Amino acid sequence: MSDFKSVERTPLPVLDFSKEEKNLDGLITLNKNFLEKIEIISTEGSLEHPEKVELDQNNLRRLYGRSPSLDPNSAHRRIKISGDLRTATRTRTENQYPEHPDRFDYYPQVVSCDCFSSGRHYWEVDVRSSSSCGIGICLNSMGRKGGKSGLGMNPESWSLRKCDDEFSAHHNKQRNSLSVPGDHERFGFFLDCEAGELTCFGDSRVLHVFRGNFMDPVRPAIGVWDNDGSVHFVHLVKQTFITN
């Protein structure tokens, strides 16, 4: 017992918790940044070249694919909407639609129910059954009445036009001829609202890029000019990937 009594007690060291908290905060931030990079790689497929991935149509379908449906309340009376709300057909006689403020009354056009004002969206349009049509987007606020409501004929709409085998891009009455070799049946549209770009694809290549303020709500739109012609929103099935 005498030996134990002779042992001197030394005070325990006091931990600096403020310093430890700073180290912990730094570790949390590091892990958060690391996880964000992993998320980018897993969703876009590449960290170093995300733009190349985004403009590949297969990746656009997988990441941003949409299947727009047509709004019957907006359809001109000479546009018939299919039961699945994806096909617009130009009829020779008027359909008995009720009056509606959103209905086109001059041009045979229709807009989708889908309205975009943020994010990225990709959809495709099949034009094989029409020799004369217009496809694109318009501001939700674009007028639906009278001769100023044509797609691409005002500041509120952007449109690709097909006339037999000729294609052109239209916005605010400005026309740009497009070189589209072959007989294209399907066109893709990639809308990046924040970037203010609508990229138009044909045969897996970029045909034209429209630029505008697409953070104002916009809707995919269709116009069918030829009697009995049809234009169809393609139903895109998102791909799923199984990893072991």
DSSP for 107-132, written as a single string: SSEEEBS--BSSSEEEEEEE-TT-SE
Specify the higher pLDDT residue, 33 or 61.
61
Are residues 129 and 24 part of one domain? no
Instruction: Calculate the average pLDDT of the chain.
Output: 83
Are residues 108 and 38 part of one domain? no
Residue 4 inside a domain? The answer is no
> Residue 145: what residue type?
K
Residue 71 inside a domain? The answer is yes
Are residues 139 and 171 part of one domain? yes
Q: Is the pLDDT of residue 52 over 70?
A: no
DSSP secondary structure letter of residue 102: T
Return the pLDDT at 80.
98
Return the pLDDT at 184.
79
Query: The domain spanning residue 208 has which CATH number?
Result: 2.60.120.920
pTM of the shown model: 0.76
Return the pLDDT at 239.
52
Q: Is the pLDDT of residue 170 over 80?
A: yes
Are residues 36 and 98 part of one domain? no
Specify the higher pLDDT residue, 151 or 19.
151
Return the pLDDT at 212.
95
Q: Is the pLDDT of residue 218 over 50?
A: yes
How do residues 174-199 score in pLDDT, each as one tens digit?
Answer: 999 998 876 778 999 999 999 999 99
Specify the higher pLDDT residue, 1 or 190.
190
Q: Is the pLDDT of residue 10 over 70?
A: no
Are residues 150 and 208 part of one domain? yes
How do residues 223-240 score in pLDDT, each as one tens digit?
Answer: 999 999 999 999 997 554
DSSP assignment string, 164-223: TTEEEEEETTEEEEE---S---EEEEEEETTTTEEEEEETTEEEEEEES-TTS-EEEEEE
How do residues 138-154 score in pLDDT, each as one tens digit?
Answer: 999 999 999 999 999 99
Residue 224 inside a domain? The answer is yes
Residue 61 inside a domain? The answer is yes
Structure confidence at residue 12 as a pLDDT band (50, 70, 90): low
Are residues 24 and 144 part of one domain? no
Range of the domain at 71: 50-233
Span 105-116, average pLDDT: 97
Whether 208 contacts 217, CB under 8 Å: no
Are residues 121 and 30 part of one domain? no
Other CB atoms within 10 Å distance of the CB of residue 149: 21
Residue 58 inside a domain? The answer is yes
Return the pLDDT at 51.
45
How many angstroms separate the most distant Cα atoms in the chain? 116
How many structural domains compose the chain?
Answer: 2
